[in-house]
Amino acid sequence: MALISLSLLAVGSASAAATEEAVADEAAADVAAMKQTSQPPAGFVDRPIVALDWTLAETLTGIGVRAMGVGQVATYASWVAQPALPQGTRDLGLRTQPNLEQLAALAPADILISPMLSSLAPRLSAIAPVTSIAIYTPDADTWQTLVKATRQLGKLTQREPQAEQLIRLSTARLAGYNAALRQQAARKGQSPLPLLMVQFMDDRHVRIFGDNSLFQAVIERMGIDNAWQGDTNAWGFATVSLEKLVTLKGRMVVVEPLPPGGHQALAHNGLWQAMPGVRENSQASAPLFLPPVWSFGALPSANRFAALLASHLIDDEAALEGETTDGNH
């Protein structure tokens, strides 16, 4: 029995060693592949940093920086969509559980995180300096924190002119939409309806966005009211049931992605059929379904959300000429 136990221990040790060696080989292969990556796409520069947080990653993209890696690259494409990460950006694994072997092999000069990922800082700091950049904080002006974070990233990556350009273009774009909506309201004698901005969690519950949210910061600058005046958390949303929204007056704005089978489920959902705009069956108040926008994003996502809204709410196509929807550099 002693011999059997020793044999099992030996097998276990050999198996663990083989696993560790396989992990190390995989990390080394990833690094080798990255080193062979082509030059950054036109308009971008490479910087020896990684960004686990999507909000920071989209801002880097917006000022023309290709980071060495970003957390959950494929999922970013589903939830953030635009601006698309530059070709060649490495996937570092889960944002909350990044591949530490790959990170160590990349040897970045800086690792960018948000305060939400602060629990990772002790382990990450053993690899490289960690910079935490906060955007969504209680009792702060969300737009100003977006501007501040953009400037901070511009300075960190030696892209300060590009950061200032993104700030100027974002501010001017929203001011332009505001002016176009006011002119349209004067012509029609009717202002846009207040908005109920939601993302579905399941067929009966939504995140509804209000004070301190990216979406609120955008519509404020476009001169549009928010129909939700209830409490929100530090991220600017509250999780509520559809029943709570039935009596509110406003136009529903649904930001995708929806849960699997979402559109079909809504067609048979009695609560949804009682929602503002759905029950009236009016084109002027019908719910708007927007493609994915990162609801916890920065200026690039603010630009995308504003442009998508404007495409539905502003009739004059001339007012939208030259506008893009990704807020990219």
Phi, psi dihedral angles at 209 (to 5 degrees): -100, 135
Distance between CA atoms of residues 300 and 287, nearest Å = 24
Query: What is the mean predicted confidence (pLDDT) over 235-248?
Result: 87
pLDDT of residue 218: 97
pLDDT of residue 108: 94
pLDDT digits (tens, 9 = 90+) for 66-99: 999 999 999 999 899 899 999 999 999 999 899 9
pLDDT digits (tens, 9 = 90+) for 138-149: 778 999 999 999
- Do 212 and 230 form a contact (C-beta atoms < 8 A)? no
> Does residue 4 carry a pLDDT above 70?
no
Distance between CA atoms of residues 173 and 303, nearest Å = 8
Joined tokens for residue 312: 């539905």
Lowest mean pLDDT among 95-104, 202-211, 215-224, 261-270: 261-270
- Do 314 and 180 form a contact (C-beta atoms < 8 A)? yes
Distance between CA atoms of residues 59 and 163, nearest Å = 9
User: Pick the residue with more confidence: 23 or 107?
Assistant: 107
Apex 274 CA angle, 269 and 277, nearest 5: 115
DSSP 35: H
Diameter of the chain by CA atoms?
Answer: 92
What is the rounded radius of gyration, in angstroms, for the C-alpha atoms of the chain? 23
Band (pLDDT 50/70/90 cuts) for residue 326 is very low
The model's pTM:
0.82
Percent of the chain with pLDDT over 70: 83
Query: What is the mean predicted confidence (pLDDT) over 241-258?
Result: 87
- Do 238 and 144 form a contact (C-beta atoms < 8 A)? no
**Long-range Cβ pairs for the range 260-265 (8 Å, 24+):** 262/200, 262/203, 265/203
Percent of the chain with pLDDT over 90: 56
Distance between CA atoms of residues 294 and 70, nearest Å = 15
Lowest mean pLDDT among 10-19, 126-135, 280-289, 291-300: 10-19
pLDDT of residue 244: 86
